[in-house]
A and B are shown apart, each in its own frame.
Chain A
Amino acid sequence: MNAFLPVLILMTSLLPAGVIFFIPQASHTLRNTINIGAAVAKLALVAWMLLAVAGGASYESVLPLAPGLVLLLRVDALALLFISLSATLWLLTTIYAIFYLGNKAELSRFFGFFSLCVAATTGLALSGSLISFFLFFELLTLSTWPLVAHKQDQASLAAARQYLMFALPASASLLWAIIWLESYTGPVLFTDPPDLSGIEPWKLRTIFALFIAGVGAKAALVPLHGWLPSAMAAPAPVSALLHAVAVVKAGAFGVVRVVFDVFGASDMQALGVDVPLALLASFTILWGSWRALDQGEVKKRLAFSTVSQVSYIVLGAALAGPLAMVGALAHLVHQGLMKITLFFCAGIYDERAGVKKIEGLNGLGQAMPWTSVCFSLGALGMIGLPPLAGFVSKVYLGLGAIEVGAPWVVAVLIASTLLNAAYFLPLVYRLWFLPLGEGVEVSAQAESGAIGLIAPAVVTAAASLGVGLLAASAVSPLGWASLIVARGYLE
């Protein structure tokens, strides 16, 4: 049973993916049933495992491929953090996507790749060895491409192309790093960090840089972030997936794995690569926020905001102190909840009111109160307004920074907070305080009948409030992150 569980949880999304591809376009009920059924099953499985893992259990499946290629799936606390996020958001995004896409073309292809993408994310989270991480990392790249290009118009194809132009060289870099490192150490298992003592420091530094470049493109670290803003050409559920559930999260998760389970915090510090990484992350945080100020399109602004916010996780990993790590891991979940709320809402504005530009948001608060409340909550949470989720992450990151003797990071956090406020508050202000734009017709029933779109947004918005409000409880993401770090540091 124990060896079977990780595979089972992977299969909850992999099997539906295989099936959905072959469902005829018109069979909505069948497709939706499989989609939601699988998502619910996965969520239930994850919930059950959360209890078990909290009690100290861990599950492991090994599938040996060729020599050196060990496909190891392992459920530990860190993996579960990521999986529970992705499983929850998968269910919500699926519901949202079903209503968002309605009866548009190529639904089976869309949902097939959608499930595949989630399967890749799950596998990535479960990966217990470097090479299995890489396998799922690539699977993720490939399965996301058709989603980004889903609309099949010029802009989508260009965005998808740009995505690959960043993702594939990055994968090459990652592969290079993995093979280089493993040529010294043999296969790297995350449970058993490799002994790096015999390797020359410059080589290790280069390998580290290659690793970071590899996962950094997905995490949208500057200057590898260019694909993310263009990828907003994709349908809203895909953006939600990219920004909150799967892709950038996979990158950030990868940084965490590399720092803690491949190099180890102390080795990283001994090599002197922690500060450059922290600087890079800080620069990304500021640059992303900076560029967000200038964006006239809602989704683009959100995209640059993601560039900035995801680097909080990288920053936390770079600082490598226990508190910073707690903050980073909590932010992994927090950012997901808040950002998916924002993208859900941006999609609703687009779909229901035809609003893409920020000027279009003027006065929508009255016409679309539910959406706008959710959007505002997400935006305020991103700024770090207490007691929303973003605040909790910032506190722990800041504490962690000071703890490891990097108080300048606090200045970065503060600057980022101010910039976040500068690009999010005008949106909130427009929603609630400005009159509807000239010639904009938004029906008073803009939200009626959109319950399938609004409900997921309400859930995630409430969750981003809830996880902040109850951050100190053991079952919150923060509590879970503390558990992870406590276990990691006790080992």
Chain B
Amino acid sequence: MTPLIWLVIAPLLGALAVLVVPARRMPAVALGAAAATLGAALALAAQVAGLGPRTVLLGGWTPPLGIVLKADGLGTAFAVMAALVMSGVALAARHELAPDKAGARAAYGFWPLMLLVWAALNTVFVSRDLFNLYVGLELLSLAAVALVALAGSREALAAAMRYLLFALTGSLLYLAGVVLTYSAHGTLDMAMLLARVPATGDGVALGLMTAGLMAKTALFPFHVWLPPAHAAAPAPASAMLSALVPKASLVILLRVWFEAMPDAAGDAALLVMAGLGAVAVIWGGVQALVQRKIKLVIAYSTVAQLGYFIIAFPLTGGDSAVKPWSAGAWTGMVFLALSHGLAKSAMFLVAGIWYSACGAQELRDLKGLARALPMSAFAFALAAVTLAGLPPSGGFTGKYLMMQAAFVAGLWPFALVMVAGGLLAAAYLYRPLAALFAKDEAISCAPVSRVRQAVPLALAAAAIILGVLSAEPFSFIKIGKPDAAVEGL
């Protein structure tokens, strides 16, 4: 079987396996599954880089009857990023979710849920069938909601409930769009949809799917579920919730718009979307600025970052052909999403360390931690560099390309939003950083192993390296890049 299949199956099998082994073996089995999935992702990446997009027909059936899995640059890049983050999360969770710390239920529930999330993510990254995507997305949402509820506290349950409501509503909207599409064209395969005869209902279908996906992505004004949910979950869970889960619906959004129905896109809708994205950038930034809890700052930062991805939609096109030096907004946005995933997971993992080792939950508790736990503070700082879009991080590179595209497209106000968002990010991330750096001799922290501190540092460093050595990742992302992304919507 090809790595493409393993990418989906390995975490799924892992999820089943952890359920049947004794509780104390769960982490080891999960780590084994994680290693297998990471290997599959890397092998797939090597294949894609060498041979171009890989395709698998499940059961040998061709669309519209069968389901096709296809790994292009975009999906594989996300899968690799997810594999890195997930491996880091698994390593961190070994400590964070030890039964004596997190409680037996959370310790038990975390591993299968984590592997389920991973399986769902990988499914979404490589699926090309609208309904298959729906199933993947549902699996993802349900596992994610369960992860949020894992802590079992009142806040956690309320947050999970809220999350579930938004997720379900989003699913329904998406499903409605899928149904409309199918009734109009009789197929849900993207390649076939691209070649379809446009129907009148296409716009409505696309609108419904988009709205549903936006609710799941937590785009403003549907972001309210995200911060409490991410803050309530155990830190490793938050890391993947914030870094990866919104990316799944984002990838679907990208696929639907650029690969299935680029022709249905219209300027007005694009501007509505990008307008919401712009508001999200500012709103999320302002909210992050007024938070007291470190996890809420990080969570609202996700709200803001998600806005950038949506802003990119109207900015695409015209890149290589008109401006040979530019990779364009689509690539830039993907790049931004990848580095966001790495940096954001690093941040949540660091916040977890601070909480579990020093009991630090609020910003003011962070005083003196830079001296007590220098590696984790450094990891946070590196991640902050990425999130604020400062060079030489991947965040900068992505934002740079998007801003350039905004100018080329004549939509410079969006570039202004991105600049303002970057400044806001610098401002809200400065608060924890300054607190970390302040002096406090009285701080006392439980010892934290180097490996545990090294995991977030490695993830944050990966986000920086993505910027320093960006040429290779860029050409990788471009593999199988849809024509619509080059020409614009």
Complex Cα distance, B412 from A186, in Å, reads 16
- In the complex, the answer to whether A152 meets B408 with C-beta atoms within 8 Å is no
Q: How far is the CB of B460 from chain A (nearest CB, A)?
A: 14
Tally of A interface residues using CB under 8 Å: 35
The 0/1 profile, CB within 8 Å of A marked 1, for residues 396-438 of chain B is 1100110110011000100110011011001000100010011
Inter-chain contacts of A139 with B (CB < 8 A): 391-392
Comparing B1-9, B142-150, B319-327, the segment that makes contact with chain A is: B319-327
Complex Cα distance, B328 from A66, in Å, reads 10
Inter-chain contacts of B335 with A (CB < 8 A): 66
B471: Cβ under 8 A from any A Cβ: yes
Q: Which of A64, A67, A187 gathers the greatest number of chain B CB atoms within 10 Å?
A: A67
Q: How many A-B residue pairs have CB under 8 A?
A: 97
Q: How far is the CB of B488 from chain A (nearest CB, A)?
A: 15
Complex Cα distance, B377 from A146, in Å, reads 12
What are 9 contact pairs spanning A and B, CB under 8 A?
A65-B397, A65-B470, A67-B325, A131-B400, A149-B434, A157-B434, A160-B437, A176-B416, A183-B323
- In the complex, the answer to whether B327 meets A179 with C-beta atoms within 8 Å is no
Determine the residue in chain B with the shortest Cβ distance to A186: B325
Inter-chain contacts of B486 with A (CB < 8 A): none
Inter-chain contacts of A134 with B (CB < 8 A): 391
Q: How far is the CB of A433 from chain B (nearest CB, A)?
A: 41
Inter-chain contacts of B67 with A (CB < 8 A): none
Complex Cα distance, B391 from A109, in Å, reads 21
The 0/1 profile, CB within 8 Å of B marked 1, for residues 200-243 of chain A is 00000000000000000000000000000000000000000000
Complex Cα distance, B189 from A288, in Å, reads 68
Q: Which of A146-162 contact B (CB under 8 A)?
A: 146, 149, 152-153, 157, 160-161
A101: Cβ under 8 A from any B Cβ: no
Give the interface of A toward B (CB within 8 A): 64-69, 106, 109, 131, 134-135, 138-139, 141-142, 146, 149, 152-153, 157, 160-161, 164, 168-169, 171-172, 175-176, 179-180, 182-183, 186-187
Q: How far is the CB of B382 from chain A (nearest CB, A)?
A: 10
Q: 5 other contacts beyond A164-B430, A172-B422, with CB at 8 A cut-off?
A: A66-B401, A68-B404, A135-B392, A138-B392, A182-B404
Q: Given contacts A65-B471, A66-B471, A68-B326, are A149 and B407 in contact (CB under 8 A)?
A: no
The 0/1 profile, CB within 8 Å of A marked 1, for residues 334-378 of chain B is 010000000000000000000000000000000000010010000
Q: Given contacts A66-B327, A68-B325, are A152 and B438 in contact (CB under 8 A)?
A: yes
- In the complex, the answer to whether A68 meets B401 with C-beta atoms within 8 Å is yes
Inter-chain contacts of B371 with A (CB < 8 A): 106
- In the complex, the answer to whether B327 meets A68 with C-beta atoms within 8 Å is yes
Inter-chain contacts of B331 with A (CB < 8 A): 66
Q: How far is the CB of B489 from chain A (nearest CB, A)?
A: 19
Tally of B interface residues using CB under 8 Å: 42
Cβ-closest 8 pairs across A and B: A183-B407, A152-B439, A67-B327, A135-B391, A68-B325, A66-B470, A65-B470, A172-B419
Q: How far is the CB of A192 from chain B (nearest CB, A)?
A: 13
The 0/1 profile, CB within 8 Å of A marked 1, for residues 71-103 of chain B is 000000000000000000000000000000000
Chain A interface mostly: helix
Inter-chain contacts of A106 with B (CB < 8 A): 371
Inter-chain contacts of B390 with A (CB < 8 A): 138, 141-142, 171
Give the interface of B toward A (CB within 8 A): 320, 323-327, 331, 335, 371, 374, 385, 388, 390-392, 396-397, 400-401, 403-404, 407-408, 412, 415-416, 419-420, 422-423, 426, 430, 434, 437-439, 467-471, 474
Inter-chain contacts of B469 with A (CB < 8 A): 65
Inter-chain contacts of A169 with B (CB < 8 A): 423
Q: How far is the CB of A148 from chain B (nearest CB, A)?
A: 11
- In the complex, the answer to whether A180 meets B419 with C-beta atoms within 8 Å is no
Complex Cα distance, B426 from A160, in Å, reads 13
Inter-chain contacts of B467 with A (CB < 8 A): 65
Q: Given contacts A139-B391, A179-B407, are A66 and B397 in contact (CB under 8 A)?
A: yes
Inter-chain contacts of B430 with A (CB < 8 A): 161, 164
Complex Cα distance, B327 from A171, in Å, reads 23
Of A65, A176, A186, which contacts B415 at CB under 8 A? Answer: A176
Q: How far is the CB of A181 from chain B (nearest CB, A)?
A: 9
Complex Cα distance, B415 from A176, in Å, reads 8
Determine the residue in chain B with the shortest Cβ distance to A136: B391
Q: How far is the CB of B396 from chain A (nearest CB, A)?
A: 8
Complex Cα distance, B468 from A138, in Å, reads 14
Inter-chain contacts of A142 with B (CB < 8 A): 385, 390
- In the complex, the answer to whether A180 meets B391 with C-beta atoms within 8 Å is no
Q: How far is the CB of A410 from chain B (nearest CB, A)?
A: 40
Inter-chain contacts of B403 with A (CB < 8 A): 175-176, 179
- In the complex, the answer to whether A161 meets B401 with C-beta atoms within 8 Å is no
Complex Cα distance, B391 from A135, in Å, reads 5
Inter-chain contacts of A176 with B (CB < 8 A): 403, 415-416, 419
